[in-house]
Structure 1
Amino acid sequence: MNLMDPYLYDDVPIVRNLLGIKNEEELIIVEAQILIASLLDIDSLLREVDFFDISSIQKIHYHLFSMIYDWAGDFRKVNIQKGERVLAGMSVQYSDYKNIPKDLIAVYEWAADVKWNHRNPDLAADFSQFMAKLWKIHPYREGNTRTVSIYMKFFAQSQGLDFNDQLLSQNVSYLRDALVMASIGEYSETHYLEKIIHEALASNNQQPFQSEKSEPAKYTSIGEYDVADYQEMPFSIHKKTNKMPDAED
């Protein structure tokens, strides 16, 4: 039985869901189908979203996942970790669950001071930083990468920026590993994320992305790792969740 993680079923390590699915592969398939369906009518929601307010990412997560999780839109109540192969099995240090609202507010305040147009010579870097800052908080028990990716697509749209979100969805494994590499504090390597974001922000005003560490044109690798064979590991409860709830995760 799982005595630590209230989001999992007691008898199987599967996230509790409104459909009662206890098979991981089935849950992944159903989640994907529901996500596609929810995107069909998301435009009406976005007209009411303030993209510089903490409620924006809550509304988007709820819209995407409310048909499958009863906690959709609610910030997680536990600390989480996940081994990452590009970090030699270590985890990104996500926000402590008690600090999620505060951390999100700080990110949105930072974003409100950025010039979100192509006259900004650092647009791709700023856009990448915004995405990585939101993703590193990981406000939800599941669905963070999908929620943040969709948020960034519509954020770009709200700012009048052309954004090729299909490039990101076609290279989702690369994107996730790039987010990992951009979210490890003083050791962050942001060039992987900036490369794909620069291409996604289509504009004749931008110069080709230049980096000494730039990868080949196709997004097939992060460092020494081939992202084509990526297998995502499940989240687990961080050991500090119950012992030190006020400590930084």
Structure 2
Amino acid sequence: MRRDKYGAEQDSDCYPGTDVLINLLDLRDPEDLEDAERYLSAIAASALEFVPPPYSLESLRQIHCALFSKIYSWAGKLRTAAISKGSTRFCSPEFIEPESRKEFSKMAAARWFEDYSRDQLIKAVAEAYGTLNVAHPFREGNGRTQRILFEWIIVNAGFSINWDGVNSEEWVAANIQSYLGDDGHLANIFGRCIGQPIREDDKYSL
């Protein structure tokens, strides 16, 4: 029985009879594709340089394109298919742009959390991350794309960030709880990952 990553029936983004996304490497095995995604996106991520605000949905698109352009022809393009994962139903395609714009406007009004204490920052980024995760702009690769953007937000706010020690099961569970209205689990993760204040010059050496 084929696995069903997004709880959807066969769609045109996948190879016939599977839920494996059509990819530039023509990998048909889901594990092989996952390994290639992880490897190539990690190399691409290491080449990305810090970008200061303002940020927007376009920022996410540029990051996604940089991470996945060697894997998917639609890298950087907003999804057009409705998707869900388990009981989590992500934003309908027609609402991705307005909902994302609303959250980015909220962060801009907060001056990208630049004057926030560490405790204030943890709470704010947990809430913002959870909201944008529900938008889920891309067919695949949302988590990796969004984490890079939030690294920039956190560094711009004057703090270090390190994701080491956060496993995928814990991350997924925290995002599910956020979807259900509880950002506490995401805040707990950000509380462990956000470090101490950094010097101004260090912002640009990532």
Do Structure 1 and Structure 2 share a fold, with TM-score over 0.5? yes
Between the two proteins, the alignment pairs up a number of residues equal to 188
**Hey, what does 1:224 align to over in structure 2?**
none
Quick one: distance in 2 between partners of 1:51 and 1:132? 19
Show the 5 A alignment for 1:208-247: none
Secondary structure of the corresponding residue to residue 203 of structure 1 = strand
- 1:52 alignment partner, one of 55, 60, 64: 55
List runs of 5+ in structure 1 lacking aligned partners.
Answer: 84-90, 205-249
- 2:150 alignment partner, one of 152, 167, 186: 152
Quick one: distance in 1 between partners of 2:43 and 2:84? 29
List runs of 5+ in structure 2 lacking aligned partners.
Answer: 1-7, 198-206
Q: TM-score by structure 1 length?
A: 0.69
Show the 5 A alignment for 1:78-117: 78-83=81-86, 91-114=87-110, 115-117=113-115
Q: Shift in Å at residue 51 of structure 1? A: 4.4
Q: Shift in Å at residue 179 of structure 1? A: 1.0
**Hey, what does 1:22 align to over in structure 2?**
28
Show the 5 A alignment for 1:124-143: 124-143=122-141
**Hey, what does 2:202 align to over in structure 1?**
none
Show the 5 A alignment for 1:154-169: 154-167=152-165
* Counterpart residue identity of residue 195, structure 2: A
Secondary structure of the corresponding residue to residue 38 of structure 1 = helix
Question: What does the per-residue CA deviation read over 1:177-220, in whole Å, with 9 as the maximum and x for residues that have no partner?
Answer: 10111112xxx22221111111222238xxxxxxxxxxxxxxxx
- 1:39 alignment partner, one of 45, 59, 62: 45
* Counterpart residue identity of residue 105, structure 2: E
- 2:193 alignment partner, one of 185, 200, 203: 200
Moved over 6 A (4+): none
- Percentage of identical aligned residues: 23
Q: Call closer, same or farther: CA 1:121–1:174 in 2, change over 3 Å.
A: closer
Query: For the Cα contact (< 8 Å) 1:3–1:10, is it kept in 2?
Result: no
Q: Shift in Å at residue 104 of structure 1? A: 0.8
Quick one: distance in 2 between partners of 1:140 and 1:177? 20
| Higher Cα Rg, which structure | 1
Query: For the Cα contact (< 8 Å) 2:20–2:29, is it kept in 1?
Result: yes
Q: TM-score by structure 2 length?
A: 0.83
Query: For the Cα contact (< 8 Å) 2:10–2:18, is it kept in 1?
Result: no
Calculate the aligned-residue CA RMSD, in Å: 2.1
